[in-house]
Amino acid sequence: MKAITASLAVALALVAWTSARAQEPDTWATYLDYAYVYSSADRDALAARLDQYGAEAGRSLEQYIIQHYQAKESRGYDESETRREAIAYLLDYLSRGEPDSLEKSEEVIRSLEGRLSRHENRYWYHYILAHDALRRGRHFDFVGEVLDLWLSVVVPLENPYEALQTLALDDSPSSGFAAALPYVYENVARLILLKSPEMGVDTDLDPLGAIVRLLADGRVGAHPDVIPPEASSKDYLDRIVARLDGPESDAGSLTFTLALFEASKYHDQSRALLASNGLDGKTVEAIRVASGAYQAALDRADTVQGEAAVYTRALRQLGEIYAAKQRLGVDPEVEMPFTIEGAIEVYDKLHEGRDDGWRKLGYRMTGRRSYIEAMRGLWEEIQESTLNASDYYLDRAAKNPHLADEYSRNAARLFSRYLTFFSEYATGEGKEGIPESAYFAAHEAARGVGDAYLAYAMNPRSSEIDLAIQHYRVGLKLFPFDRRIWSALTNALERQGRESDYMELVRPAAEMVTRSRSVDTWIDNDEPGAERIAILRRAFSDSLAMMYLGFADATGVDELKRSLEDLYATREETRVKLASLVARRDGQAAADAIEPLSPPASPDPDGDPRVGPRREWDAAELGQLNREITEASALLERLDNQIEARTRTLPLYEAALTTDGLAAELRARRDHPLHTLLRRMYHESREASPGGSDRS
């Protein structure tokens, strides 16, 4: 009985409270009428906003739903009330993720199916059904609802909105739902770009590519007075459309673009973790998620264009992992479904389409430039990941001497793979798809093979030393402006006792520079780095300077200068000595002509027989004097030659040393202008070589 009395009291209190509330203006009704303004905020922001509205209205949305809608036993038909109820349930679902609320929202909005002549009703009808389709994972229904929303709400409202705006009436209370158009654009954009990936609807979205393009074309972000730019999804939308229409597309597929974008986000997250945590468990997991997302994007790709886009990004991640392993000195197990060989296969397919087939590969809409850009982008990632992986093995070889032979040979294999790839495509017909930096990278790879065998391997075989020498020569030809490769070659030759072959082996590389039209033009036009290239070209035209480049050590310049000073001193001594010898010989001859020789009465026992009292020289003494004069003269001549050569060459060599650092600059900057010169030099030399095939 007590319980019944208590229940009755509570019920009466509730009725009284509800009745009092009924007299107040319905604040929530207003909030729900303008829900198109805030409904597409992310869950946390939406929940915070609804909490704030609840505080202002004196009851939460949940309470409002219970008291206003659920408490009603029968609902009298009221279009606006029905719409608000459906919106209230939708907001509850969006802010709390409660699926029952969405089901309720769908049920209520369907009761408006006979009243869809009103744009506002149509908007919420399709918007709610689109959310329902997303929740149920019904891809085609989702696409259909969004297309319907566009046709039945956006298209009819665009002209009225423009007219209202022209007359500054878009803020008028009686402008109706037309004034909501900027929000409708924004909400549709968020629904497609943010909500569908979030809900896992990631296939069959391609017809919505049209809507995304329409939204980006002067719609989203076009009303900063209504939606401030910082609150708009315009930037994100523009990036998506740029991807759709760019080289990283899959023949314009929205499904693929969203998948690749999603993967890029995971990649960015793993990169941030790598920077902050190193290669710890959390980072490795993030890398695994990102590479899984790249794999998902690859699965969505229907064209070679799409495959190339995925491989380009996935290989960047691979390169980053090797660089991190080397930098951090750790070697965790990292799952990575992408390989350099896989990327090379994709590049092969791209190359196959070089004449007309590129359109069929997916670039019909984006054009040939985009095709070339994609090829170059993929190449750069193949190149960088190969170099990073090789460097990682060299580093391990240096740190683990007992495994140095194994690691250094791993590095050599990777470097060689890149060189094979390079030589296959760096031809007249393939060069268009090769980036400028590929030529310097080939130099790095060639030098890397030599270093792997000679500087890192503990016991290189004779055949490997031969290979190292050959690769140093290739490296020299590709980039002769790095002094260290000249000395690396002499060291290699020394190991085989072939130092004398040095000039013969390096001369072609030097002549390639001194005779190059490209180098000439580069210097004449004062292109970037022209001054340093001119210095090196002068050095390459002097065989002694080339000897210095190969055999002298940079730290020995002072030593070389000192030896020149010694030469000057020696020459002076020799000159004095020669003068004295000549004077003696000439003096004797003069004396012989004036007075005849007579033997001294008593010779000075301590005196120099040559300057002592005159005596007649015998033929042997005179012969000796003449030999000494001849020798001194020859020495003086040799010294003159040496001084002349060194005086001419040392400044050239010294100047050449000032150009040190070019290689480091090119390695650090893949967009360095000098890469272009290397490319021109390489193809120029191929054209000039017998059987060269670069004339295209």
Partner 1 sequence: MARNRTSVPSLLVLALLALAALAAACASSPELPAGLLEEPSAVEENTPLGGEALTQRKLEMKRAYKDLVHFHVTFESLHQRKDRNGLILFSEFVQTYMGSHLAPLLRNDWQSEHPEVMGLDANLRFIQADVLMQMNDPSAVQDAIDEIERRFRGRENMLVDYPIGDQSPLGQALSVLRDRKWKG
**Positions that interact with partner 1 (CB under 8 A):** 110, 113-114, 133, 136, 138, 140-141, 143-144, 147-148, 150-151, 155-156, 158-159, 162-163, 166, 204, 206-207, 209-210, 213-214, 217, 245, 250-253, 302-303, 362, 364-365
Using alpha carbons only, what angle is made at residue 687 by residues 683 and 692, rounded to the nearest 5 degrees?
Answer: 110
Residue 157 or 419: the one with the smaller Cβ distance to partner 1 is 157
Residue 112 or 375: the one with the smaller Cβ distance to partner 1 is 112
Alpha-helical (H) ranges within 97-149 are 99-110, 119-136, 139-149
Q: Rounded to an integer, what distance in angstroms lies between the CA atom of residue 681 and that of residue 351?
A: 23
The candidate with the shortest Cα–Cα distance to 437, out of 79, 660, 679, 136, is 679
Question: Three-class SS of residue 608?
Answer: coil
Residue 244 or 286: the one with the smaller Cβ distance to partner 1 is 244
The candidate with the shortest Cα–Cα distance to 290, out of 346, 336, 340, is 336
**CB of 689 vs partner 1, minimal distance in Å:** 42
Residue 165 or 385: the one with the smaller Cβ distance to partner 1 is 165
For 38, phi and psi rounded to 5 degrees?
-125, -5
Residue 137 or 612: the one with the smaller Cβ distance to partner 1 is 137
Structural tokens at position 64: 């409002």
Q: Burial letters for 381-406: b for 16+ Cβ neighbours within 10 Å, e otherwise?
A: bbbbbbbbbbbbbbbbbeeeeeebbe
Residue 148 or 499: the one with the smaller Cβ distance to partner 1 is 148
Q: Rounded to an integer, what distance in angstroms lies between the CA atom of residue 486 and that of residue 467?
A: 16
Contacts of residue 619, defined as CB under 8 A and 6 or more positions apart, other chains included, come to none
Residue 141 or 527: the one with the smaller Cβ distance to partner 1 is 141
Residue 218 or 281: the one with the smaller Cβ distance to partner 1 is 218
Contact present, 46 and 95 (Cβ < 8 Å): yes
**CB of 74 vs partner 1, minimal distance in Å:** 16
Q: Rounded to an integer, what distance in angstroms lies between the CA atom of residue 690 and that of residue 500?
A: 27
**CB of 82 vs partner 1, minimal distance in Å:** 13
Structural tokens at position 593: 């002509």
The candidate with the shortest Cα–Cα distance to 519, out of 481, 571, 568, 550, is 481
**CB of 255 vs partner 1, minimal distance in Å:** 9
The candidate with the shortest Cα–Cα distance to 297, out of 268, 267, 321, 261, is 261
**CB of 352 vs partner 1, minimal distance in Å:** 17
Q: How many CA atoms lie within 13 A of 330 on its CB side?
A: 14
Q: Rounded to an integer, what distance in angstroms lies between the CA atom of residue 331 and that of residue 450?
A: 25
**CB of 232 vs partner 1, minimal distance in Å:** 20
Contact present, 308 and 346 (Cβ < 8 Å): yes
**CB of 110 vs partner 1, minimal distance in Å:** 8
**CB of 421 vs partner 1, minimal distance in Å:** 29
**CB of 195 vs partner 1, minimal distance in Å:** 19
Contact present, 128 and 119 (Cβ < 8 Å): no
**CB of 181 vs partner 1, minimal distance in Å:** 13
**CB of 150 vs partner 1, minimal distance in Å:** 8
**CB of 256 vs partner 1, minimal distance in Å:** 9
Contacts of residue 227, defined as CB under 8 A and 6 or more positions apart, other chains included, come to 182, 183, 186, 221
Q: Rounded to an integer, what distance in angstroms lies between the CA atom of residue 651 and that of residue 647?
A: 7
Q: Rounded to an integer, what distance in angstroms lies between the CA atom of residue 142 and that of residue 127?
A: 9
Sign of CA dihedral 6, 9, 15, 16: negative
Residue 25 or 114: the one with the smaller Cβ distance to partner 1 is 114
Residue 250 or 451: the one with the smaller Cβ distance to partner 1 is 250
Q: Rounded to an integer, what distance in angstroms lies between the CA atom of residue 42 and that of residue 386?
A: 41
Structural tokens at position 272: 């941030």
Question: Three-class SS of residue 551?
Answer: helix
Question: Three-class SS of residue 87?
Answer: helix
3-state secondary structure 317-376: HHHHHHHHHHHHCCCCCCCCCCCHHHHHHHHHHHHHCCCCHHHCCCCCCCCHHHHHHHHH
**CB of 86 vs partner 1, minimal distance in Å:** 15
Q: Rounded to an integer, what distance in angstroms lies between the CA atom of residue 322 and that of residue 38?
A: 45
Residue 140 or 568: the one with the smaller Cβ distance to partner 1 is 140
Q: Kindly tell me the burial class for residue 213, based on how many C-beta atoms sit within 10 Å of its own C-beta (0-12, 13-18, 19 or more).
A: middle
Residue 162 or 586: the one with the smaller Cβ distance to partner 1 is 162
Residue 342 or 367: the one with the smaller Cβ distance to partner 1 is 367
Residue 147 or 169: the one with the smaller Cβ distance to partner 1 is 147
**CB of 207 vs partner 1, minimal distance in Å:** 4
Residue 170 or 245: the one with the smaller Cβ distance to partner 1 is 245
Structural tokens at position 5: 């009395």
For 425, phi and psi rounded to 5 degrees?
-110, -15
**CB of 154 vs partner 1, minimal distance in Å:** 10
